[in-house]
Amino acid sequence: GNWGTTDKFGVDRILRIKIQMRATQRLVDHRMNFSVRVAFDSGKCTGPHCHFGWDTYGYSVGCNNFEDKYPYPDIDTQYPDGIWYSLP
């Protein structure tokens, strides 16, 4: 559905895709499978931490779960078990 009066990018449906991914060696060395999720708009990273994660761990899939409330959403939601991913 719409958020506010219009969708930001005219999105009228959501596609679900199944992917396989492998963590970069730098993530594995830190015992991690994912880096921090970053925001993308129009195919570009627009979040404040884009290059930190990529420079530190290489180009990797980022994620955050709603339960941790970091980095966003920082409030309770209707989907407490939700997870967002970012694909570079």
pLDDT at 1 exceeding the cut of 50: no
Q: At 55, which amino acid appears?
A: D
How confident is the model at residue 36, as a pLDDT? 83
31-66: string of b/e by CB count within 10 Å (b at 16+)?
eeebbbbbbeeeeebebebbeebbeebeebbbebeb
pTM for this prediction: 0.69
36 SS3 class: strand
Give the pLDDT band of residue 5 (cuts 50, 70, 90).
low
Give the pLDDT band of residue 15 (cuts 50, 70, 90).
confident
**Radius of gyration for the alpha carbons in the chain, expressed in angstroms and rounded:** 14
Give the pLDDT band of residue 16 (cuts 50, 70, 90).
confident
83 token code pair:
């997870």
* Host H or E run for residue 53: helix 50-57
How confident is the model at residue 7, as a pLDDT? 64
Q: What is the pLDDT of residues 25-76, one digit of tens each?
A: 999 999 999 988 888 888 888 877 777 878 888 888 988 888 887 777 788 8
Q: At 16, which amino acid appears?
A: R
